Homo-oligomer: A and B are copies of this chain.
Amino acid sequence: MGLDTAQSKPHERLNAYLADDMAAVNDLIRARMASEHAPRIPEVTAHLVEAGGKRLRPMLTLAAAHLCGYQGDHHLRLAATVEFIHTATLLHDDVVDESGQRRGRPTANLLWDNKSSVLVGDYLFSRSFQLMVETGSLRVLDILSNASATIAEGEVLQLTAAQDLATDEAIYLQVIRGKTAALFAAACEVGGVIANAPEAQVRALNAYGDALGISFQIVDDLLDYWGTGATGKNIGDDFRERKLTLPVIRAVAAGDATQRAFWQRTIEKGDQRDGDLEQALHLLNTHGALESTRATAIQWADTAKKALQTLPDSELRGMLGDLADYVVARIS
């Protein structure tokens, strides 16, 4: 395990600390992506897996397992499992969103076709399923099967709720739990379960992952109106795709009839004209929706850090706490 450099970002420090494990996970991912007869599979997945994502989810699993004193090697399989599930959902998301870009690179559905994205996503799901079965832990399988159902249900919910102004904060929370927090929570929890940690620690790991994931997704949605393009996202993508995210939900709730008509036209009906994005940003600022969304993200990061207190004090725990701070520090 590597160095802890105080100046670097927490996910980079985690990556350094977990360097040996992460190398083993990367090897496992590459080995299980391979397909003798269908070379399209490694082509498509390599494009995504090698695309330089932060590998947050597998790091969470590895960190949770180490934090609870795990000595075996099943945590490597579980880390690869969560990365495969994540990659599979990205492939399917890009088909659903008809995206052309992810992390500043063309998406697989653009480079190959929607068919490949759908089927290679299915392949990765099935591979993740094989990997977790190999751990022989029914409890792990239970956690990950429930997380999968939450993810899938959240995605369908988003499909119908996104363009509907009746979508409130409770529905938004359910959507982002499905989209992000369910896998963060499961990634952390299975690390504790495989380490045979006490129940209170397992619950704390789930709570940490859940709150971290919620904070992460709120920030992601906020950056769509706040960001600089450095995140690989274009400002206003969600607006153009008519996604009702937290800042907009709050601006809609605080707006008068004229403003409501604006949101109905642009988000519900999708009738968008020049200057609409600027008007949307103006309304978000008028109602303090960006600032209040940022405050909510910080609250969730605090919830995440609080959950860590149940876990053994260690350098690793400190890094997980810093990670929660870092997630919200992306808004600057």
In the complex, which residues 37-52 of chain A have their Cβ closer than 8 Å to any Cβ of chain B? Answer: 37-41
- Which residues between 122 and 158 of chain A lie within 8 Å of chain B, taking CB atoms? 122-123, 125-127, 129-130, 133, 136, 138, 141-142, 145-146, 148-149, 151-153, 155-157
- Interface flag for A92 (CB, 8 Å): yes
- The residues of B that contact A174 with a CB separation of less than 8 Å are 37
In the bound complex, do residue A37 and residue B126 qualify as a contact, i.e. CB atoms below 8 Å apart?
no
Distance of A310 from chain B, by nearest CB (Å): 27
- How many residues of chain A get a CB closer than 8 Å to chain B's CBs? 42
- As for how many copies of this chain the complex holds, the number is 2
Q: Which of A71-79, A111-119, A201-209, A247-255 is found at the contact surface with chain B?
A: A111-119
Q: How far is the CB of A311 from chain B (nearest CB, A)?
A: 27
Smallest CB gap from A120: residue in B: B156
Given the known A-B contacts A130-B146, A146-B130, A148-B125, are A153 and B92 also in contact in the complex, defined by CB atoms under 8 Å? Answer: no
Question: Are A96 and B125 in contact, CB atoms less than 8 angstroms apart?
Answer: no
Interface string of A88-104 (1 = CB under 8 A from B): 01001001100000000
**B156, A116: Cβ atoms closer than 8 Å:** yes
**How far, in angstroms, from A146 to B126 measured CA to CA in the complex?**
8
Chain B residues near A126: list those with CB within 8 A: 145, 148-149, 151-152
Measured in the bound complex, the distance between the Cα atoms of B37 and A174 in whole Å is: 9
Indicate if A160 sits at the interface (CB-CB under 8 A). Answer: yes
On whether the beta carbons of A115 and B96 are closer than 8 Å, the reply is: yes
Please tell me if the beta carbons of B41 and A153 are within 8 angstroms of each other in the complex. Answer: yes
Instruction: State which of B89, B123, B129, B156 has its C-beta within 8 Å of the C-beta of A129.
Output: B129
Q: Is B155 within 8 A of A122, CB to CB?
A: yes
A133 touches B127 (CB 8 A): no
Q: Mark A11-37, 1 if CB is under 8 A from B, else 0.
A: 000000000000000000000000101
The interface centre, meaning the residue of A35, A37, A89, A151 with most chain B CB atoms within 10 A of its CB, is: A37
Q: Are A156 and B114 in contact, with the CB atoms below 8 A?
A: no
**Residue A171 CB within 8 A of the other chain:** yes
A159 contacts partner chain B, Cβ-Cβ < 8 Å: yes
Q: Which of B38, B141, B148, B149 contacts A156 (CB 8 A)?
A: B38
A32 to chain B, nearest CB (A): 10
CB within 8 Å of B: which of A182-240?
none
* Cα-based distance from A138 to B142 in the complex (angstroms): 12
A153-B96 in contact (CB<8A): no
Whether B133 lies near A114 (C-beta < 8 A) is no
Cβ-defined contact, A118 with B95, below 8 A: yes
Contact check, A156 vs B96: say whether CB atoms are below 8 A apart.
no
**Complex Cα–Cα for A174 and B35 (A):** 13
Residues of B within 8 A of A151 (CB): 122, 126
* Cβ-neighbour of A118 out of B37, B92, B133, B141 (below 8 A): B92
Report the separation of the CA atoms of residues A110 and B122 in the bound assembly, to the nearest whole angstrom: 21
Chain B min CB distance to A210 (Å): 18
A33 to chain B, nearest CB (A): 11
